[in-house]
Structure 1
Amino acid sequence: MRKIFSSVTIFDWHDVNQGALSINKKLLEDGYIPTHIVGIGRGGSILSALISGNLLKDKHIPFSAFDRKYSKDETGMRKAELLHGIDLGHCDLTRVLLVAGDVVTGITAQRFKELLISKGVKEIRFAVLAKCPTPAMEPDYFYKEFLSEKGLHFPWMICSNYTRYSTDRGEQVKN
Protein backbone atom coordinates (compact mmCIF):
# COMPACT_ATOMS: atom_id res chain seq x y z
CA MET A 1 0.00 0.00 0.00
CA ARG A 2 1.03 3.56 -0.60
CA LYS A 3 1.61 5.17 2.75
CA ILE A 4 1.61 8.87 3.49
CA PHE A 5 3.64 10.01 6.48
CA SER A 6 3.77 13.77 7.05
CA SER A 7 4.26 14.79 3.42
CA VAL A 8 6.18 11.65 2.41
CA THR A 9 4.43 9.40 -0.09
CA ILE A 10 5.87 5.90 -0.19
CA PHE A 11 5.13 3.63 -3.12
CA ASP A 12 5.68 -0.05 -2.44
CA TRP A 13 6.05 -2.82 -5.01
CA HIS A 14 2.32 -3.47 -4.93
CA ASP A 15 1.73 0.15 -5.99
CA VAL A 16 4.27 -0.20 -8.81
CA ASN A 17 2.57 -3.40 -10.01
CA GLN A 18 -0.87 -1.78 -9.81
CA GLY A 19 0.45 1.25 -11.68
CA ALA A 20 1.83 -0.93 -14.48
CA LEU A 21 -1.47 -2.83 -14.73
CA SER A 22 -3.43 0.44 -14.77
CA ILE A 23 -1.26 1.86 -17.55
CA ASN A 24 -1.57 -1.40 -19.50
CA LYS A 25 -5.36 -1.27 -19.19
CA LYS A 26 -5.41 2.30 -20.54
CA LEU A 27 -3.09 1.35 -23.42
CA LEU A 28 -5.40 -1.51 -24.39
CA GLU A 29 -8.50 0.69 -24.08
CA ASP A 30 -6.87 3.24 -26.41
CA GLY A 31 -5.72 0.51 -28.80
CA TYR A 32 -2.16 1.84 -28.51
CA ILE A 33 0.06 -1.23 -28.63
CA PRO A 34 3.66 -0.03 -28.73
CA THR A 35 6.14 -1.69 -31.06
CA HIS A 36 8.92 -0.68 -28.66
CA ILE A 37 9.05 0.70 -25.11
CA VAL A 38 11.79 3.06 -23.91
CA GLY A 39 12.42 3.59 -20.20
CA ILE A 40 14.03 6.76 -18.85
CA GLY A 41 16.32 6.26 -15.87
CA ARG A 42 15.92 3.71 -13.10
CA GLY A 43 12.20 4.05 -12.51
CA GLY A 44 11.42 4.08 -16.21
CA SER A 45 13.53 0.97 -16.73
CA ILE A 46 11.63 -0.95 -14.07
CA LEU A 47 8.20 0.26 -15.18
CA SER A 48 8.93 -0.33 -18.88
CA ALA A 49 9.91 -3.94 -18.11
CA LEU A 50 6.66 -4.48 -16.20
CA ILE A 51 4.56 -2.93 -18.97
CA SER A 52 6.41 -4.86 -21.67
CA GLY A 53 6.11 -8.23 -19.98
CA ASN A 54 2.46 -7.93 -19.02
CA LEU A 55 0.69 -5.98 -21.78
CA LEU A 56 -0.17 -8.82 -24.16
CA LYS A 57 -0.38 -12.54 -23.54
CA ASP A 58 0.97 -13.78 -26.87
CA LYS A 59 3.21 -10.96 -28.08
CA HIS A 60 6.61 -9.87 -26.87
CA ILE A 61 7.08 -6.10 -26.83
CA PRO A 62 10.77 -5.24 -26.62
CA PHE A 63 12.07 -2.44 -24.42
CA SER A 64 15.24 -0.41 -24.04
CA ALA A 65 16.41 1.83 -21.23
CA PHE A 66 18.09 5.21 -21.50
CA ASP A 67 19.79 7.05 -18.71
CA ARG A 68 20.91 10.60 -18.24
CA LYS A 69 23.70 12.25 -16.34
CA TYR A 70 23.12 15.39 -14.32
CA SER A 71 25.60 18.04 -13.34
CA LYS A 72 25.45 21.62 -12.11
CA ASP A 73 26.87 24.48 -14.12
CA GLU A 74 28.82 27.40 -12.66
CA THR A 75 25.57 29.15 -11.66
CA GLY A 76 24.25 26.07 -9.86
CA MET A 77 21.67 25.32 -12.58
CA ARG A 78 21.07 21.61 -13.10
CA LYS A 79 21.97 20.31 -16.57
CA ALA A 80 21.00 16.92 -17.93
CA GLU A 81 23.08 15.22 -20.56
CA LEU A 82 21.24 12.55 -22.50
CA LEU A 83 23.31 9.43 -22.93
CA HIS A 84 23.16 8.27 -26.56
CA GLY A 85 24.86 4.88 -26.26
CA ILE A 86 21.80 2.83 -27.19
CA ASP A 87 21.42 1.82 -30.82
CA LEU A 88 17.77 1.67 -31.88
CA GLY A 89 18.58 0.76 -35.49
CA HIS A 90 17.21 -2.77 -35.10
CA CYS A 91 13.98 -1.67 -33.36
CA ASP A 92 10.53 -1.22 -34.84
CA LEU A 93 9.95 2.47 -34.06
CA THR A 94 6.42 2.70 -35.47
CA ARG A 95 4.76 3.24 -32.05
CA VAL A 96 6.99 3.93 -29.06
CA LEU A 97 5.94 4.24 -25.45
CA LEU A 98 8.33 6.47 -23.47
CA VAL A 99 8.20 5.54 -19.77
CA ALA A 100 9.47 7.21 -16.59
CA GLY A 101 8.90 6.54 -12.90
CA ASP A 102 7.69 10.08 -12.42
CA VAL A 103 7.48 13.40 -14.19
CA VAL A 104 8.19 16.63 -12.33
CA THR A 105 9.22 19.31 -14.82
CA GLY A 106 8.92 17.17 -17.95
CA ILE A 107 11.94 18.82 -19.55
CA THR A 108 14.08 15.66 -19.60
CA ALA A 109 11.17 13.62 -21.02
CA GLN A 110 10.66 16.24 -23.73
CA ARG A 111 14.33 16.00 -24.70
CA PHE A 112 14.14 12.20 -24.87
CA LYS A 113 11.05 12.52 -27.05
CA GLU A 114 12.95 14.83 -29.42
CA LEU A 115 15.88 12.41 -29.49
CA LEU A 116 13.60 9.47 -30.31
CA ILE A 117 11.85 11.39 -33.08
CA SER A 118 15.26 12.24 -34.55
CA LYS A 119 16.00 8.48 -34.56
CA GLY A 120 12.89 7.78 -36.65
CA VAL A 121 10.04 7.21 -34.19
CA LYS A 122 6.75 7.62 -36.02
CA GLU A 123 4.35 7.92 -33.07
CA ILE A 124 5.24 8.37 -29.40
CA ARG A 125 3.26 8.41 -26.18
CA PHE A 126 4.43 8.96 -22.61
CA ALA A 127 3.58 7.05 -19.40
CA VAL A 128 4.57 7.50 -15.73
CA LEU A 129 3.63 6.16 -12.30
CA ALA A 130 3.56 9.56 -10.59
CA LYS A 131 2.75 12.89 -12.21
CA CYS A 132 3.23 16.31 -10.67
CA PRO A 133 1.13 19.27 -11.87
CA THR A 134 1.88 21.04 -15.15
CA PRO A 135 5.04 19.41 -16.49
CA ALA A 136 6.44 20.67 -19.80
CA MET A 137 5.52 17.28 -21.27
CA GLU A 138 2.21 15.93 -20.02
CA PRO A 139 2.04 12.14 -19.84
CA ASP A 140 -0.59 10.39 -21.93
CA TYR A 141 -0.88 7.77 -19.21
CA PHE A 142 -0.23 8.04 -15.47
CA TYR A 143 -1.16 6.13 -12.34
CA LYS A 144 -1.33 8.85 -9.65
CA GLU A 145 -1.05 12.63 -9.57
CA PHE A 146 0.63 14.51 -6.72
CA LEU A 147 0.72 18.18 -5.83
CA SER A 148 4.46 18.12 -5.22
CA GLU A 149 7.43 15.91 -6.01
CA LYS A 150 8.78 16.46 -2.50
CA GLY A 151 8.63 13.30 -0.47
CA LEU A 152 7.89 10.84 -3.28
CA HIS A 153 9.67 7.58 -2.47
CA PHE A 154 9.75 4.51 -4.72
CA PRO A 155 10.77 0.95 -3.77
CA TRP A 156 13.94 1.08 -5.87
CA MET A 157 15.22 3.81 -3.54
CA ILE A 158 16.43 1.24 -1.01
CA CYS A 159 18.93 3.22 1.04
CA SER A 160 20.30 6.68 1.75
CA ASN A 161 22.87 6.28 -1.06
CA TYR A 162 20.12 6.70 -3.66
CA THR A 163 20.61 9.86 -5.69
CA ARG A 164 17.48 11.49 -7.04
CA TYR A 165 17.95 14.57 -9.17
CA SER A 166 14.43 15.01 -10.49
CA THR A 167 13.48 17.17 -7.52
CA ASP A 168 15.79 19.98 -8.63
CA ARG A 169 13.76 22.49 -10.60
CA GLY A 170 15.04 24.99 -13.14
CA GLU A 171 17.07 22.58 -15.17
CA GLN A 172 18.69 23.17 -18.51
CA VAL A 173 18.97 20.11 -20.69
CA LYS A 174 21.60 19.64 -23.35
CA ASN A 175 22.23 16.80 -25.74
Structure 2
Amino acid sequence: MKGRKSIKQVLTFAFLLLTFALISSCDYNRRSTGWQYFDDMVNSPAYESYTPNPNFGDGKTMQPPVAGTIPRGMVPYPYEKTDEDRALAAKTLINDVEMTTLNLDRGERMYGIYCMQCHGEKGDGQGSLFTSKKYPYPPASLLSEKMMANPEADIYHVITVGHGVMGAHGSMINPDDRWRIAMYIKEELQK
Protein backbone atom coordinates (compact mmCIF):
# COMPACT_ATOMS: atom_id res chain seq x y z
CA MET A 1 0.00 0.00 0.00
CA LYS A 2 2.76 2.32 0.94
CA GLY A 3 4.50 1.73 -2.43
CA ARG A 4 1.36 2.58 -4.38
CA LYS A 5 0.85 5.71 -2.36
CA SER A 6 4.41 6.96 -3.07
CA ILE A 7 4.05 6.19 -6.83
CA LYS A 8 0.73 8.03 -6.83
CA GLN A 9 2.38 11.01 -5.08
CA VAL A 10 5.27 11.05 -7.58
CA LEU A 11 2.86 10.91 -10.53
CA THR A 12 0.69 13.66 -9.00
CA PHE A 13 3.77 15.82 -8.43
CA ALA A 14 5.01 15.19 -11.99
CA PHE A 15 1.55 16.06 -13.38
CA LEU A 16 1.38 19.27 -11.35
CA LEU A 17 4.91 20.22 -12.38
CA LEU A 18 4.14 19.62 -16.07
CA THR A 19 0.87 21.55 -15.79
CA PHE A 20 2.64 24.46 -14.09
CA ALA A 21 5.36 24.46 -16.79
CA LEU A 22 2.78 24.51 -19.58
CA ILE A 23 0.66 27.23 -17.99
CA SER A 24 3.60 29.43 -17.10
CA SER A 25 5.06 29.16 -20.61
CA CYS A 26 1.90 30.48 -22.22
CA ASP A 27 1.65 34.17 -22.94
CA TYR A 28 -1.71 35.69 -23.70
CA ASN A 29 -0.24 38.74 -25.43
CA ARG A 30 -0.56 38.00 -29.15
CA ARG A 31 1.98 40.73 -29.99
CA SER A 32 4.76 38.87 -28.27
CA THR A 33 6.44 35.56 -29.00
CA GLY A 34 6.45 34.71 -25.31
CA TRP A 35 9.39 34.22 -23.03
CA GLN A 36 12.89 34.73 -24.36
CA TYR A 37 15.27 32.40 -22.61
CA PHE A 38 18.29 33.37 -24.73
CA ASP A 39 17.93 36.99 -25.72
CA ASP A 40 20.93 36.93 -28.05
CA MET A 41 19.17 34.32 -30.19
CA VAL A 42 16.23 36.67 -30.82
CA ASN A 43 18.10 39.96 -30.99
CA SER A 44 21.36 39.06 -32.71
CA PRO A 45 24.47 40.88 -31.54
CA ALA A 46 25.89 40.53 -35.07
CA TYR A 47 26.48 43.60 -37.21
CA GLU A 48 25.13 43.87 -40.76
CA SER A 49 27.71 44.13 -43.55
CA TYR A 50 27.51 47.86 -44.27
CA THR A 51 26.72 49.17 -40.78
CA PRO A 52 29.08 51.03 -38.45
CA ASN A 53 31.02 48.83 -36.06
CA PRO A 54 32.90 50.17 -33.04
CA ASN A 55 34.99 46.98 -32.78
CA PHE A 56 37.28 47.95 -35.67
CA GLY A 57 39.60 50.93 -35.95
CA ASP A 58 38.06 52.19 -39.18
CA GLY A 59 34.53 51.82 -37.76
CA LYS A 60 33.33 49.55 -40.60
CA THR A 61 31.83 46.10 -40.26
CA MET A 62 32.90 44.83 -43.67
CA GLN A 63 36.68 44.44 -43.66
CA PRO A 64 38.99 43.61 -46.58
CA PRO A 65 40.64 40.18 -46.61
CA VAL A 66 43.79 39.84 -44.58
CA ALA A 67 46.84 40.66 -46.71
CA GLY A 68 48.53 37.56 -48.12
CA THR A 69 45.53 35.26 -47.71
CA ILE A 70 44.02 33.22 -50.52
CA PRO A 71 40.27 32.51 -50.72
CA ARG A 72 39.27 28.87 -50.29
CA GLY A 73 39.16 27.03 -53.60
CA MET A 74 41.23 29.63 -55.48
CA VAL A 75 44.54 28.67 -57.01
CA PRO A 76 46.78 31.72 -57.52
CA TYR A 77 47.72 32.33 -61.15
CA PRO A 78 51.27 33.70 -61.46
CA TYR A 79 50.90 35.39 -64.86
CA GLU A 80 49.45 38.81 -65.74
CA LYS A 81 47.65 40.10 -68.83
CA THR A 82 50.82 41.15 -70.66
CA ASP A 83 52.45 39.96 -73.88
CA GLU A 84 55.57 38.89 -71.97
CA ASP A 85 53.58 36.79 -69.50
CA ARG A 86 51.53 35.33 -72.33
CA ALA A 87 54.70 34.11 -74.05
CA LEU A 88 56.11 32.82 -70.75
CA ALA A 89 52.86 31.00 -69.89
CA ALA A 90 52.77 29.42 -73.36
CA LYS A 91 56.26 28.01 -72.77
CA THR A 92 55.97 26.93 -69.14
CA LEU A 93 52.39 25.79 -68.44
CA ILE A 94 51.71 22.08 -68.83
CA ASN A 95 48.32 20.48 -69.36
CA ASP A 96 47.82 17.73 -66.77
CA VAL A 97 44.33 16.86 -68.04
CA GLU A 98 44.38 13.52 -69.83
CA MET A 99 43.35 13.44 -73.49
CA THR A 100 40.16 11.35 -73.42
CA THR A 101 36.86 11.41 -75.26
CA LEU A 102 35.16 12.37 -72.00
CA ASN A 103 37.48 15.36 -71.50
CA LEU A 104 37.07 16.47 -75.14
CA ASP A 105 33.29 16.26 -74.79
CA ARG A 106 33.46 18.34 -71.61
CA GLY A 107 35.71 20.84 -73.41
CA GLU A 108 33.19 21.09 -76.24
CA ARG A 109 30.35 21.74 -73.75
CA MET A 110 32.39 24.41 -71.93
CA TYR A 111 33.36 26.00 -75.27
CA GLY A 112 29.66 26.13 -76.15
CA ILE A 113 28.86 27.86 -72.86
CA TYR A 114 31.71 30.37 -72.61
CA CYS A 115 33.32 30.82 -76.03
CA MET A 116 30.92 30.11 -78.89
CA GLN A 117 28.91 33.34 -78.54
CA CYS A 118 31.97 35.34 -79.62
CA HIS A 119 34.29 32.92 -81.45
CA GLY A 120 31.55 30.99 -83.25
CA GLU A 121 30.63 27.34 -83.46
CA LYS A 122 33.53 26.62 -85.81
CA GLY A 123 35.99 28.94 -84.03
CA ASP A 124 36.11 31.32 -87.00
CA GLY A 125 35.24 34.46 -85.00
CA GLN A 126 31.70 34.56 -86.38
CA GLY A 127 29.80 34.10 -83.15
CA SER A 128 26.20 35.22 -82.66
CA LEU A 129 27.17 38.33 -80.69
CA PHE A 130 29.28 39.59 -83.60
CA THR A 131 27.04 38.48 -86.49
CA SER A 132 23.96 40.01 -84.84
CA LYS A 133 25.85 43.34 -84.54
CA LYS A 134 25.40 43.35 -80.75
CA TYR A 135 29.17 43.37 -80.38
CA PRO A 136 30.93 45.59 -82.95
CA TYR A 137 34.53 44.41 -82.47
CA PRO A 138 35.37 41.20 -84.37
CA PRO A 139 36.50 38.37 -82.07
CA ALA A 140 39.70 36.51 -82.90
CA SER A 141 39.48 33.60 -85.26
CA LEU A 142 40.80 30.48 -83.57
CA LEU A 143 41.55 29.09 -87.04
CA SER A 144 44.15 31.72 -87.98
CA GLU A 145 47.74 30.61 -88.65
CA LYS A 146 48.93 32.39 -85.49
CA MET A 147 46.38 30.63 -83.27
CA MET A 148 47.02 27.26 -84.90
CA ALA A 149 50.74 27.65 -84.15
CA ASN A 150 50.14 28.56 -80.49
CA PRO A 151 50.18 25.74 -77.92
CA GLU A 152 47.31 24.78 -75.61
CA ALA A 153 49.01 26.70 -72.78
CA ASP A 154 48.60 29.95 -74.74
CA ILE A 155 44.86 29.36 -75.08
CA TYR A 156 44.67 28.45 -71.39
CA HIS A 157 46.43 31.71 -70.48
CA VAL A 158 44.14 33.83 -72.67
CA ILE A 159 41.04 32.18 -71.20
CA THR A 160 42.38 32.82 -67.69
CA VAL A 161 43.42 36.50 -67.91
CA GLY A 162 41.98 37.62 -71.25
CA HIS A 163 43.68 39.35 -74.16
CA GLY A 164 42.94 42.64 -75.88
CA VAL A 165 39.22 43.34 -75.45
CA MET A 166 38.48 39.79 -74.32
CA GLY A 167 37.89 39.74 -70.58
CA ALA A 168 39.29 37.25 -68.11
CA HIS A 169 37.27 34.07 -67.63
CA GLY A 170 39.51 32.55 -64.94
CA SER A 171 37.04 33.35 -62.18
CA MET A 172 34.19 31.64 -64.04
CA ILE A 173 35.86 28.52 -65.43
CA ASN A 174 37.80 26.13 -63.21
CA PRO A 175 41.39 25.33 -64.28
CA ASP A 176 40.68 21.80 -65.54
CA ASP A 177 37.81 23.04 -67.70
CA ARG A 178 40.08 25.76 -69.16
CA TRP A 179 42.51 23.02 -70.17
CA ARG A 180 39.65 20.99 -71.64
CA ILE A 181 38.52 23.98 -73.72
CA ALA A 182 42.09 24.51 -74.97
CA MET A 183 42.35 20.80 -75.75
CA TYR A 184 39.03 20.88 -77.64
CA ILE A 185 40.14 23.90 -79.69
CA LYS A 186 43.47 22.29 -80.64
CA GLU A 187 42.15 18.77 -81.26
CA GLU A 188 38.72 19.39 -82.79
CA LEU A 189 38.30 22.93 -84.11
CA GLN A 190 41.75 23.41 -85.58
CA LYS A 191 41.83 20.10 -87.48
TM-score with structure 2 setting the length: 0.23
Q: Which has the higher contact order (CA 8 A, sep 6+)?
A: 1
Please identify which structure carries the higher strand content. Answer: 1
* Structure showing greater Rg: 2
Query: Scaled by the length of structure 1, what TM-score is found?
Result: 0.24
